[in-house]
Amino acid sequence: MDNTKPEDFEQPEQSFQKEADMAESRIRALERANSQKTEVVDATMTDKAGHPVTLRSWETDSGVMVRAYDTSKVEVPEDPNPGQAGHAEAHFDRSFDAQKRLRLNYIETNGEYRGTGVGGQMLNQVEQYAQKNGATEIYGSIENQDAQDFWKSQAGNGWEIDYSQGFYGHARKVMS
Ligand SMILES: CC(C)(COP(=O)(O)OP(=O)(O)OC[C@H]1O[C@@H](n2cnc3c(N)ncnc32)[C@H](O)[C@@H]1OP(=O)(O)O)[C@@H](O)C(=O)NCCC(=O)NCCS
């Protein structure tokens, strides 16, 4: 005996609606995937010690990862790793006003490459990303005295230190 009740049968309109909902959610997933598409941008420099350095940036709509590699020692990888000579990372804040603030989560140059211009160049890559993606400002907290001296050296590039924030201050650049 067939126990199927009339309400167990799916109406053609309902089935059509389900298909349309599924198609809609597939489109939304595709849009999300596309909006997070990663663009890879390379820049090269010779640091003050004569090392050939490539800076590779992995850029999405939400932020950028910059990694520095001394190409006389290592190859530049397809996917981001910690970075052999240095690393920097910045992400957009989820803000509720019209401002698009890019937060510099960290910037660090590794041992022998410090003081050779790698940090300044990584910052430059972050700034280019900010410009390209309509950031109104970039900011980050300063973690120590040496870093504060680095940020002071960036005054000519439009960086200022807000000493009222944190122990060593906040570095900030308003984008023009
Ligand atoms: C801060 C840091 C990222 C700077 O990177 P870097 O590669 O050494 O910086 P650069 O070589 O590009 O230096 C750029 C300028 O900053 C100055 N500078 C950098 N570090 C300095 C220091 N410790 N004291 C004084 N000046 C410094 C340089 O003299 C240079 O000035 P110039 O362009 O007039 O010559 C690096 O020292 C570091 O990794 N520190 C440890 C991690 C850290 O504190 N990160 C920052 C957290 S806010």
Cα 89 to averaged position of ligand 1 atoms, centre (Å)? 16
Q: Measuring from atom 29 of ligand 1, which residue has the nearest CA? A: 115
Annotated domain spans of the chain? 10-35, 39-174
According to DSSP, the β-strands at 86-92 and 63-70 are antiparallel
Task: Please give the sequence-ordered ranges of beta strands (E in DSSP) within 47-163, or none if there are none.
Answer: 52-59, 63-70, 86-92, 101-109, 137-141, 160-162
- Per CATH, is 39-174 categorized as 3.40.630.30? yes
109 in contact with ligand 1, CB cutoff 6 A:
yes
pLDDT reading at 137 higher than 50: yes
Cα 53 to averaged position of ligand 1 atoms, centre (Å)? 16
d(CA 102, CA 141): 12
Please report the atom of ligand 1 found closest to the CA of residue 122.
12
pLDDT in tens, 80-135: 999 999 999 999 997 767 789 999 999 999 999 999 999 999 999 999 999 999 99
